[in-house]
Amino acid sequence: MSRKVIAVLGVGPGLGLSMAHRFGREGFVTALVSRNAERHEGYRASLSAAGIESRGYVADVADEGELRGVLARIASDLGEIDTVYFGPGNLESGAGIVPITELDAETVRGPYEATLIPPVNAVAAALPPMLERGDGALFFAGGLSGKYPMPLLGSLAPATAALRMYVLTLAAALEGRGVYAATLTIGGLIERGDIHRFVQEHAARTGEAVPGTLDPDDIADTAWNMYVARDRAEAEFNALTQPV
């Protein structure tokens, strides 16, 4: 039996690395993809210490050409990609938010294109070989404002909702075809992630409270269980005191 490969697109020190570890523990070879290789050595050392084989790749997954190219390289180097985890982006970090009452076509277009178009391109590139062999999985990280009204997140909310519905609809369309799709709907700061570190540093300077946090290992465990069971298309992780 050939080994399985997971492509972690937009790997970071939080959930992306936890996904690599969790699937790697099950025998997957992990392909780590980010815009630069600056932190790949550390990620790979962490995986190697756990007995997990990995390889690093540099690509901007927001660029369709680079995305298609890196997925092709991974398949050529490591074998057919069984699972894609798409996790880049700021997951409702608050950067550049425009109030929902002030949106126009231009201000909604940027978040929409940044949030939805790259995952759609990833599916367009990765799905055909999965369908051909009748097996595979696609995971996406999304935000809680895609599920509940959260006015504070303004212009991010429509784009996040669009991504969530895209994944849920994709999952429904793939039923009975051997390929699984699911969204990990996240409300809170991912521990060890870049945004978490930034917020902690800000809180240390200002004395402000740090919002609720989530352990990426717990999320990755849930993702693995979803991969095995394939009986739901969404898992919600909510560390916020109120969803709205």
The pLDDT of residue 77: 97
Instruction: Give the integer Cα–Cα distance in Å for 181 and 143.
Output: 16
| 143 vs 204: which has the higher pLDDT | 143
pLDDT > 70: percent of the chain: 87
Instruction: Give the integer Cα–Cα distance in Å for 184 and 94.
Output: 19
- For the stretch 2-27, pLDDT in tens is 789 999 999 988 999 999 999 999 99
Cα distances (Å, whole numbers) of residue 110 to 60, 93, 114, 230: 17, 15, 6, 33
Q: Is the pLDDT of residue 55 over 60?
A: yes
Fold category of 5-236 in CATH: Rossmann fold (3.40.50)
- For the stretch 95-151, pLDDT in tens is 577 888 998 888 888 888 889 999 999 999 999 999 999 999 999 999 998 999 888
Beta bridge partners of 141: 184
- For the stretch 163-178, pLDDT in tens is 999 999 999 999 999 9
Contacts (Cβ under 8 Å, ≥6 apart) of 190: 14, 15, 91, 196, 213, 214, 216, 219
Average model confidence (pLDDT) across the chain: 89
Beta bridge partners of 6: 30, 83
What would the two tokens of residue 43 be? 């990620």
What is the pLDDT confidence band of residue 241, given thresholds at 50, 70 and 90? low
The pLDDT of residue 220: 97
| 96 vs 243: which has the higher pLDDT | 96
The pLDDT of residue 198: 58
